[in-house]
Amino acid sequence: MTLTPAALRAHATARTLPPRTTLQAALDRLGFVQADPIRAPARAQDLILMQRVKGYRAGDLERHYPRLNVEEDIIPNYGFVTRDVQRLLHPRGHRPLRIDQHAPGLTERVLAHVLERGEVHPRDVEAALGRQSVGNYWGGQSSATTSALDALHYRGHLRVTRREGGVRLYAPATHLDALRAAPLSDEVRALGLVHLITNVYAPLPRASLTGLLSLCGYGAPGLTSQLRAALNTALGGTLTEGRVDGVPYIWPAAEAPGDAAPMRGARIVAPFDPLVWDRRRFEHLHGWAYRFEAYTPAAKRTLGYYALPVLHADRAVGWANLSVNAGTLHADVQYRPDVRQTATLTRAVNAELDRYRAFLGAR
């Protein structure tokens, strides 16, 4: 069978946006949800989950986090992973970090303090061990004790227990103790990560998948060569490869692109949603370049500060900039020049905006 971009678009939409379910079931199915602190109109993790969870409201993940099978961690970006996925990331060893150079011995003191106290707030650690600033990755200054907490979290000694006003609280990651003593083999970890990334983002151009796996070098240091080998092992077995317009794509072998029914209604999705995350695939399948412009100077933006792709009938037909002011949702929806703004499209987008109002608690 010859796959067309339209058939692959339908398959990508159907597998990435299945029927809505419970919060834990959605987390289990995804395995990884990317996080981002910008709220326009809500954080990325909330925007991603509202498309997959029945009755989801902005902030539900943070509110229910302590009772969920989920941990904050990084792979390939910072976000939320289930504990089964986290087992693939640790132990990370003692990879040298900036804090070790700028404040030698501080991470050991901070860890001893947390082991003694249990759950801690960063300000309490700073009060107990003294205020000190260190340079951060963005050229500014950060609290040295907070940087040490972040380093210990990265290394798997601490976990995020919950948040207060967006600030992470930490406690010992005792659930990883056994894994440090008897870790999974590198081959098992690498193959698991290949399947995870493919499950979240497929169907992916081969070039995009290999690029994503290389990004996993920070979340799973030391596995770069094993990840390449694991991808080759999976191809022809659990993963398959096909060409669309000459572009090689990879997807799970158990799936059959070309059989998906067209998407009903409209979806307005986050810039980091797995459905639009890969810009190479987006441009190939939808015929135009979507750009995330939050960090682009305002005068150079073409779509807007936090433009959300608008999809209808499996096709990206435009973008929306949404904001809440005085309890009212304000929506600026723009369409591509080749899109016919039919009554069906208008009704579908208006229905999606109503879902956003409920999600945001807005008028």
Structure confidence by residue, pLDDT tens digits, 308-336: 999 999 999 999 999 999 999 999 999 99
Q: Identify the residue whose tokens are 């600030």.
A: 167
- Model confidence over 257-269: pLDDT tens digits? 888 888 899 999 9
| pLDDT score of 93 more than 90 | no
322 contacts 330 by C-beta, under 8 angstroms: yes
Residue 164 burial (C-beta neighbours within 10 Å; 0-12, 13-18, 19+): exposed
Question: Quick one: pLDDT at residue 242?
Answer: 94
**Which 3 state secondary structure label does DSSP give 233?**
helix
Name which of 135-149, 189-203, 281-295 the model is least confident about.
135-149
- Model confidence over 153-182: pLDDT tens digits? 999 999 999 999 999 999 999 999 999 889
CA–CA dist 129, 106 (Å, integer): 9
pLDDT band at residue 138 using 50, 70 and 90 as cut-offs: low
| pLDDT score of 94 more than 90 | no
Does domain 98-180 fall under CATH 1.10.10.10? My reply is yes
| pLDDT score of 139 more than 70 | no
Rounded percentage of the chain residues whose pLDDT exceeds 90? 87
CA–CA dist 322, 356 (Å, integer): 9
The alpha carbon torsion through 110, 113, 115, 116 (nearest 10 deg) reads: 180
First to last CA, the chain: 48
Q: Please give the full DSSP string across 42-83, using - where no structure is assigned.
A: S-HHHHHHHTTBTT--TTHHHHHGGGSS-EEEESSSEEEE-H
Name which of 136-140, 142-146, 152-156, 214-218 the model is least confident about.
136-140
Question: Quick one: pLDDT at residue 262?
Answer: 82
Average pLDDT of the residues in 69-93: 95
Domain ranges of the chain: 98-180, 266-360
CA–CA dist 100, 104 (Å, integer): 5
